Structures are given as structure tokens and as C-alpha cells.
Structure 1
Amino acid sequence: MISTRSTIAGTDGVADAARAIPHEIYLGPDGDAVEPVISRSTTWRHLRSLDLRPNQRVLMVGTGSGYAAALIGHIAGPGGRVLTIDNDHTLTRRAGDLFAAHDHRATAATGNPLNGHPGGGPYDRIFVPGTPAEIPAAWVDQLARGGVLVTGAVVSDLPGVHAVAHITKTPEDSLVATVHADRYPLIEPPVVPAHVVTVTATDQSRFWLASAAVDDQTATDYLRIARAGTPEAWPAGPREFLDFKHWLLARRPRGLLTAVTEHGEGIGIGDRAPSAFGLATRPDGPPEIAMATPTHVVADPPLSLTRARLLDLIADWRAEGARATHELDAVVLHDSESYRVRLDD
């Protein structure tokens, strides 16, 4: 027997929809579950951020189980139109059958999600629970004035940095963005710009380091010492780490880098040791690195000036009130085929 109980709290439209539509319908009561790419609680939170209302036209890019589209259809009501598009015909056929069987107000179409679905636009809301390499111009073109697009977005030229962007199209056709420290799965690998050097460990391909304005040898040196660095605990959890990471990306300190090593996902700075007189950095001096992870600060040498500089940056962030990601400025950049979101200080 399918339960209609929901753990969601509140009296808003999303809570009403979640109580009216059992998630078990879409996750497969027969054990043939379609695993959602994001949790139910995250889905509810992000649907709330869309500010969904009755009678809206809504496009969901990526069908998944169909559960989110069914919730959106319940909120849009009989006067709205909800369409989900995916390139996986099996998913769209299954979701479409479930929509019809349970009289849920959504339809499913098969096609290239990066093209959106121009035949049903313009849309008041577009929801993309995934992260493209760049935001396709088609999605923005199909967004109505005053409309909202919520999508995963790569928010830096350095790899390993993606978040969730909330983009509003103003009545004048300009775009206003806010970035949140959540993450959707990557739809496609991000393109690393030519000015960013990325190196991978020769013994463990999952370990890498990337930095701008350095050469391959320097980046390789940084990766080697990042892996061997001394970790020390710092009082931060995963969400706080992401907020600091995004703040550091907006601040853009000298030597900024991202990496994944044995110590985990990290962001930090690399430099060369100062001269014997402490007056300047030697281009050929020994490399230094200091990196923050969700649980540690990793530095080598352990008491280097680079470590001290990173700790000063952490102190600056805390002095500013440990600014959350959504409190940072964000800019939307446009070229002919796509849009990018970047954090700004």
C-alpha cells in the first residue's frame, strides 16, 4: 500500500503538493526505483526558491523519476503548463505514463535538454537539477521577462567549482543572479580555459590540482606538496567550507588554486618561499602551499608564510561575518551561445 504521508513541514504550495503526491509513486513501489539526483528535501527547498504559482508555464530540464515535475504541476494547477524534457526516452516514457495514470498535471518530452523546449515557451520558471558546462542561451531565451531560472552552474574558471544559480530575467531583459552553496550533478564536463593549468597525479588519477598563471612544473610541485602537506583541524563543516571556498573565489588572492588530494577537496594558495632577506618572492624558491578542506587546513611547509596568509584570509572571511555564498555578488557573462555565472567580491 502506498503511503501518502510526507515529512515536509509548512502550509505553502510546495508542502501542499508534497502531501498530495506520494513520492513512492515515482520512486517505484515495486522496487524498480528511479534514483533521484537530489534528495526530496533539496527538491522541496529548491522548488520553494522558484516561487512557483498557479497558472505558470514551467519547464523542467531533466526528467529523472518525474516526482519534481508532478509537484510543480500540482502547484501550477489546471491553468498552468508543466513540461519536462530529457534525452532518455525510457525516463520520459515512464514519467509520462505515471503522469497520465495518476492524473498529474505534467507532460514529458524526449529531446536535447540543452536546447530546452521552445515550442512551449516562454516559461515563467525553468528548473534544471543538473550542472551544464555553461548555461545554454536557449534556456535564457525561453525564459519570460520576470521569469526565474534555477540551475546548477560552474562558477569559476578553476575546475571543481559548481553551485546552484538563481537567475531572474528583469522586465528590461537583463539578468540578476544569486549563487547558493548547493550542488547538482554535472551534466557534462566543464571546459577548463587555456590560462588554467591542471595536473593529475601519476599514481592516482583522481588526485589533481589546478591553478592559473603557473606553469606545468610549478603546478606539479604544488600537487606533490599538497598531497604530502601537514593537516591541522579548523572549525568548519562542509557547508561552511563551501561558503569560504566561494568567498575565496570571489576574493581571488594571488596564487589561488583548487585541488583534490588524499586530504579531500580543497581550495587554497600556492607560492614560492621568500628570499633570504624576506624582501621578495624568489621565482626559483622552493614551492609552498596552504589549502583548506571541509575539515582541515593543509600546509607544507607547516609553518610557512603561505600558511599564515591563508589563515589571515580565513580570519578576514570570519571578520566579514563568515559571508554565505548567497551573500556574495554574482555576475552573468554572455557570449553568443551561452552564459556563465561568476562570483565577485
Structure 2
Amino acid sequence: MPDTSNQALDRAIYAVPTEQFQGADGRAVRPCTPAVVTHRHLRMLDVRPGARVMDIGIGSGLSAALLAQLGGPDGRVTAVEIEPSLAKRAEALYAEHGHQVTVVVGDGLLGYRQSAPYDRILVGATPPAIPQAWLQQLKPGGTLLCGVRIAGLPGAYAIARVTVDDQHQPHQVEIHHGGYTPMVATYSADTVSRVVDQQQPEFSLTVLGDQDHRTAASLFAVLHEATHSEPTPAPDLDYFHLKNWLVAAEPSGLLEASIDRGTGVGIGFLAPDGTAHAAIVTDEHLIADHAESPALEVLRALSHQWLEEGALRTHELQARLTRDGDVWHARVSRA
């Protein structure tokens, strides 16, 4: 049986060329999600003819135009953008190229009740947590696709696909590898300790849990001075999926660090004698304070466990949303 939804998206991509939404110099507008990513996420969203859709975070304007093409003449697309200049630019392009999109300038975290309920909501950004307002504005059985944080670590971004039930509660939740630019908002469900190199602020360490700041600083120091490096446990190891599996496994002392040899996720702790030990895995190497580091032993064991369990990819992890007042936090765990 032919995949008609994929065929419809292929036709939409042909009808709405990316070039319509590039700048006058032919370059992508910032902020802007790459077209290939937008296309992939629209396949996941599965928009049908006649759908009522909200697009939050207008970017270049491409995603809303594609949504309008997928919804057809009986559909309705509302694009919400907090930056007036981006909204104005996209609105002019929609008028020029004949895309039926209603543009609203406003705070996307609130959604847009005036055009609700929606069959689909696409959010081209990562909120600090998923607002209940988005789920409430979906029709029962409707689907939300948005960026999420799956932990308090700096790089713990992913994509959530959430379908709601008759009570606007999460019914089906999937978490996929990927990410969108963070929204301008602050909130964290995790307790973390963070250390930043004052001379080179691009280097930092964040450790999950209620850690003493001096402990985090000690872990950062030994990673900065690390004397040991070795190849990752598998030649074609997919760092991003291993990282998300480690987040799901929730080992004690989970941390993420950016040092001169790369960015990685790993383990850090103080030995009974107060000595700091830390190790991280990057996309190419395991890096540790020294070759006999107990933190390195733990990280090696965890990496091999991930491989033994089938090198689970992010979408194969168990996904859930947990409610905290008026917001929901996305989390992954091992099945």
C-alpha cells in the first residue's frame, strides 16, 4: 500500500521551495531550522488535508508554508512568533507566494487559544518545559512535536512527539534524537552544579545532583588536566544515542563537560580519600584523569552495557512526561 502521507509531503516540498524563504543573498535566515530537519519532522507530524495546525517559532517561515500546503484549502495554519521583525518578514513572503498562513505576534509558550483546537502543533524551539496550554489546545487525539530537555545537562536536547487523550493528557510519548534552539525562558526541573572557566568561558562542566560547588570544580580541574585518552568502545559508536542512554540510566555523578579536547558526557565523583576522578566519552574518545581512574572503569562498563543491550537509539528508550504544575518535563528511561 502506498504511503500517501509521505507522497503528500514530497509534493509539498516540491511546491514550496526552500529558496522562497532564504535571504536576499541566498543564505538561510537566522534563527532558522535547516530544511532537511523541517522535512523530517513534518513526516513525523503526519499532517492531513483539512488539518488545523499551530506553528510556534516562525524562523524563516518555511515550516508554516509547508503546513499550509499539506492542510490544503480546507486547512488552517496559525504561526506564532515572539519577534515582530521575523513575523513581519514571513507574513510578507506568505502574501508574495500565496501561502495561506495567519501570523500572530505573541508568546509561543501561551499558544494561541483563539484558533484552537488544533489537530497538530509544531514547535520549532525548545521550551524549558512543555506548557499544559499546548496540550490543552490540541484536539483529543491531536499531536504535538517540539524540542524538549531530557535532563539538566547543557546538551540534553531531544525531540518529543506527544499525542493527547480525551482529557488533553499525554497518551503516547516518543522521544527522538535531535533538538531545537532554546526558547528565551528560564526553568529547570533538575538540581545541577556548574563550573565555567573564567578565562575560556567556552569550557565548562555541569554535574547532575546536589553537588558541592568545590566538588564540581575539582572534577573540572582533573578533566582539564586529564592524562589518559583511548578510542571509544566501538568504532562507529553513535555518541548522541549513547549520551541519551546514559541520561536514561541515571548513574550517580552523571556530568557533561566541554574541555579543549572536546565535549562529552560521563561520570565524576570523589574517592573516600577526597581525590577527584572523572571520565567523559566524546564522539571519538574516552578521556579520563588517568588510565587507572575508577571513573573510567565505571564509564567503560556503562558503555559496554549499552552495546550489550543493542546500542539502543533514543527513540527506543522508554519515554514519558511528568507534570509539574502547569508544565510537563520530558524524561527517558531504560525499558
Which residue does the alignment assign to 1:250? 248
After TM superposition, list the pairs within 5 Å mapping 1:116-127 onto structure 2. 116-127=111-122
AA aligned opposite 1:52: V
Structure 2: gaps (5+ residues):
none
Secondary structure of the structure 2 residue equivalent to 1:331: strand
Length-normalised TM-score, structure 2: 0.91
After TM superposition, list the pairs within 5 Å mapping 1:92-107 onto structure 2. 92-107=87-102
CA deviation after TM superposition for structure 1 residue 33, in Å: 5.2
Q: Report whether the alignment pairs 1:227 with 2:218.
A: no
AA aligned opposite 2:238: E
Contact 2:215 2:270 in 1 (8 A): no
Q: Which moved more, 1:101-110 or 1:309-318?
A: 101-110
Which residue does the alignment assign to 2:210? 213
What do you get for the CA RMSD once the two structures are aligned?
A: 2.1
Q: Report whether the alignment pairs 1:186 with 2:175.
A: no
CA deviation after TM superposition for structure 1 residue 191, in Å: 3.4
Alignment coverage as a number of residue pairs:
327
Cα gap change, 1:217/1:73 in structure 2, threshold over 3 Å: closer, same or farther? same
Q: Which moved more, 1:156-165 or 1:81-90?
A: 156-165
Which residue does the alignment assign to 1:262? 260
Cα gap change, 1:304/1:214 in structure 2, threshold over 3 Å: closer, same or farther? same
* Separation (CA, whole Å) in 1 of partners of 2:198 and 2:291: 24
CA deviation after TM superposition for structure 1 residue 30, in Å: 5.7
Which residue does the alignment assign to 1:3? none
Which residue does the alignment assign to 1:145? 140
Which residue does the alignment assign to 2:283? 294
Structure 1: gaps (5+ residues):
1-9, 274-281
Secondary structure of the structure 2 residue equivalent to 1:199: strand
After TM superposition, list the pairs within 5 Å mapping 1:1-345 onto structure 2. 12-29=7-24, 31=26, 34-35=29-30, 37-175=32-170, 176-188=172-184, 190-192=186-188, 195-211=191-207, 212-229=209-226, 230-234=228-232, 240-273=238-271, 282=272, 284-345=273-334
Deviation per CA, 1:118-166: give whole Å up to 9, x if none: 1001111110111111122221211111111111101113333111111
CA deviation after TM superposition for structure 1 residue 246, in Å: 0.7
Contact 1:237 1:294 in 2 (8 A): no
Q: Which moved more, 1:190-199 or 1:200-209?
A: 190-199
CA deviation after TM superposition for structure 1 residue 55, in Å: 0.5
AA aligned opposite 2:222: I
Length-normalised TM-score, structure 1: 0.89
